[in-house]
Structure 1
Amino acid sequence: MVSKVPSPRMDDVYMTCFRIDESGYTGFDLLNADQRFQGASAIAINNDDAERLIKEHFPRLQAPELKYNALSRRASNHPRLLGLLKDLLSDFDCVTYVADKRFMLTLMFVDYSVEPFYYERGVDLYENGQNYAMAAMLHMAGPALLGETEFAALMDAFQLAMKEKNPQSLQKLVEAAEATNWRELPEVLGPLAQYADRDCLSAISTPGVSTDIAIVVLISLITRMEVMAKGVYRVEHDQSKNLLTYHNLLQRYIENDEEVEFRATEITSLRFPLKLDEVVQVDSKSSPAVQLADVMIGAAIEAGNTLTGLRAGGLDPEALMLLYREDQFIHMLPSIDFEEQRRFRSGSQNSQAIDYLASNIFGKRR
Structure 2
Amino acid sequence: MLRIKVEFALDYAVEPFYYERGLDFYEDGQNYSLASLLYTAGPTLLGKEAFDALLVTFQRAVKEKTEGALRELVLAASRLNWRELPEALGPLVQASPECLSAIATTGVTTDAAIVVLQALISRMELMADGAYRVEHDQSKNLLTYHDLLQRYIDHQHEVEFRQTQIASIKFPLKLSSVSQVDSKASSAVQVADVMIGAAIEAANGLTGLRPPLLEPQAVMSLYADDQFIHLVPSIDFTEQKEFRQGTQAAEMIDYFAKHFGTKSS
**Pairwise TM-score range, normalised by the shorter structure:** over 0.9
User: Is 1:112–2:2 an aligned residue pair?
Assistant: no
> 1:332 aligns to what SS in structure 2?
coil
> 2:152 aligns to what SS in structure 1?
helix
* CA drift at 1:312: 4.6
Give the alignment's TM-score, normalised by structure 1.
Answer: 0.68
Relative distance call for 1:245 and 1:354 in structure 2 (3 A) is same
* CA drift at 1:190: 1.3
> 1:246 aligns to what SS in structure 2?
helix
5 Å-filtered alignment, 1:161-176, equals: 161-176=61-76
Which one is further off, 258-267 or 294-303?
A: 294-303
Structure 2 distance, partners of 1:170, 1:217, is 27
5 Å-filtered alignment, 1:62-77, equals: none
User: Is 1:334–2:233 an aligned residue pair?
Assistant: yes
Relative distance call for 1:286 and 1:341 in structure 2 (3 A) is same
* CA drift at 1:241: 2.0
Relative distance call for 1:269 and 1:363 in structure 2 (3 A) is closer
Q: Which amino acid aligns with 1:139?
A: Y
Q: Which amino acid aligns with 1:301?
A: I
Q: Which amino acid aligns with 1:319?
A: A
User: Is 1:142–2:42 an aligned residue pair?
Assistant: yes
| Equivalent in the alignment of 1:344 | 243
| Equivalent in the alignment of 1:48 | none
Q: Tell whether the 8 Å contact from 2:132 to 2:175 is kept in structure 1 after alignment.
A: yes
Q: Which amino acid aligns with 1:114?
A: V
| Equivalent in the alignment of 2:125 | 226
> 2:229 aligns to what SS in structure 1?
strand
> 1:138 aligns to what SS in structure 2?
helix
| Equivalent in the alignment of 1:296 | 195
5 Å-filtered alignment, 1:184-203, equals: 184-193=84-93, 195-203=94-102
Relative distance call for 1:198 and 1:306 in structure 2 (3 A) is closer
5 Å-filtered alignment, 1:174-185, equals: 174-185=74-85
State the aligned residue count: 263
Q: Tell whether the 8 Å contact from 1:302 to 1:311 is kept in structure 2 after alignment.
A: no
User: Is 1:256–2:155 an aligned residue pair?
Assistant: yes
Q: Give me the CA root mean square deviation.
A: 1.8
Q: Which amino acid aligns with 1:132?
A: Y
* CA drift at 1:150: 2.0
- How far does the alpha carbon of each residue in 1:275-334 deviate from its partner, in whole angstroms, 9 at most, with x for none? 1111000112221121211221122123234443724543x3322322222333434222
Relative distance call for 1:187 and 1:319 in structure 2 (3 A) is closer
Runs of 4+ more than 6 Å apart: none
Relative distance call for 1:133 and 1:329 in structure 2 (3 A) is closer
* CA drift at 1:219: 1.0
Q: Which amino acid aligns with 1:300?
A: A
Give the alignment's TM-score, normalised by structure 2.
Answer: 0.93
- How far does the alpha carbon of each residue in 1:157-192 deviate from its partner, in whole angstroms, 9 at most, with x for none? 111111111111111111111111112222221112
Relative distance call for 1:290 and 1:148 in structure 2 (3 A) is closer
Structure 1 distance, partners of 2:82, 2:11, is 18
- Which among 123, 127, 130 is matched to residue 23 of structure 2? 123
> 1:158 aligns to what SS in structure 2?
helix
Structure 1: runs of 5 or more not aligned: 1-100
> 2:135 aligns to what SS in structure 1?
strand
Q: Work out the percentage of aligned pairs sharing the same amino acid.
A: 60
* CA drift at 1:233: 1.0
| Equivalent in the alignment of 1:92 | none
Q: Which amino acid aligns with 2:194?
A: V
Structure 1 distance, partners of 2:186, 2:263, is 38
Relative distance call for 1:313 and 1:161 in structure 2 (3 A) is closer
Structure 2: runs of 5 or more not aligned: none
5 Å-filtered alignment, 1:39-118, equals: 101-118=1-18
Name the structure with the higher strand share: 1
Q: Tell whether the 8 Å contact from 1:233 to 1:277 is kept in structure 2 after alignment.
A: yes
Relative distance call for 1:356 and 1:276 in structure 2 (3 A) is same
Q: Radius of gyration: which is bigger?
A: 1
Structure 1 distance, partners of 2:222, 2:232, is 20
